[in-house]
Amino acid sequence: MTLRSRSVQSPLYPIGLRSDHIAEFERLLWIEPKYDPASADEYIIKFDSDDSTLITVTGKCYYRNRPVREFRDASGLPMFEVRRGGWHWLTPAWRIRLPGNETGHLACVKPVGWRSEFDLTFRNALAPDVKNDDEKMVTLEVRYASPFCGFGIWVGGRKVADVRQSMERNRTIRSMLGGPSYNPPRAIMEVLVADGFDFSLASLCAIILCDEHFRSTPPSIFETQERAKRLNPKMVS
């Protein structure tokens, strides 16, 4: 088993936060950062095969300007919220909750390494029948592969998803040797998902990596203004 391999394996049994986004066969997704001033979508996640939209991700801030990500399905219905905490191994760095739920959570993310690696723990909605609910808990291990190979998502010794910069859709691929403090240009990402694994979970991990490692940060005010002028030539400086 090698972390550098692009191939993915099916989990021993279906794994997901919910049952309606489980891959029936191996699928390739791509994630595009959206910074069009006329669009509220910060990321759009699509199937590579037919370019159809799977999930949209928007962002906002709450207490102390910590970001909240809202995931919506293709119809626009909310799926879950992802709230940023402190990136510290003692406390969850991100909390995944149902929309409007301020107390309970669906999953927690804790960092485990300096390269934006993390573990994501949640209750598997498709777990086999067990007597103890604790046995339904699953931990995904998101681990760094290499500067150009991106990250793998592992569970039970099997890599169920692969996240990396798109060789096909990006003009250039930047090395990530600079670590979390390095800020490359915004990149289009590819996510390879094994059959039996949850699309939304793979997308969730990829978005966290976009924010924490690949640094898909919004453009500057100047960039936004210049893009708006190109979209609307009648704008006056």
Collapsing DSSP to helix, strand or coil, 20 comes out as helix
Give the pLDDT confidence of 19-56 residue by residue, as tens digits: 889 999 999 999 988 765 556 678 899 999 999 999 99
From residue 27, alpha-carbon distances to 17, 195, 235 in Å are 18, 7, 42
Q: Is residue 52 part of a domain?
A: yes
> In this structure, what CATH number is given to the domain that contains residue 163?
3.20.90
Query: In this model, does residue 223 exceed pLDDT 60?
Result: no
* pLDDT confidence band for 178 (50 / 70 / 90): very low
**Domain assignment of residue 84, given as a range:** 19-231
Q: Is residue 237 part of a domain?
A: no
Most confident listed range (121-130, 148-157, 200-209): 200-209
Question: 0.95 cut: is pTM over it?
Answer: no
pLDDT value, residue 15: 96
Q: Is residue 40 part of a domain?
A: yes
Half-sphere exposure of 112 (CA within 13 A, CB side): 13
The set of long-range contacts for 55-60, using a CB threshold of 8 Å and a minimum separation of 24, is 55/79, 55/199, 55/200, 55/203, 57/203, 57/207
pLDDT value, residue 2: 41
Q: Is residue 134 part of a domain?
A: yes
Give the pLDDT confidence of 116-138 residue by residue, as tens digits: 899 999 999 988 777 677 778 99
Q: Is residue 30 part of a domain?
A: yes
| Mean pLDDT, residues 74-79 taken together | 92
Dist. CA 130–CA 1, nearest whole Å: 29
Q: Is residue 9 part of a domain?
A: no
pLDDT value, residue 237: 42
Structural domains in the chain (count): 1
Dist. CA 20–CA 34, nearest whole Å: 25
* 229 or 122, higher pLDDT: 122
Q: Is residue 174 part of a domain?
A: yes
pLDDT value, residue 155: 96
Calculate the average pLDDT of the chain.
78
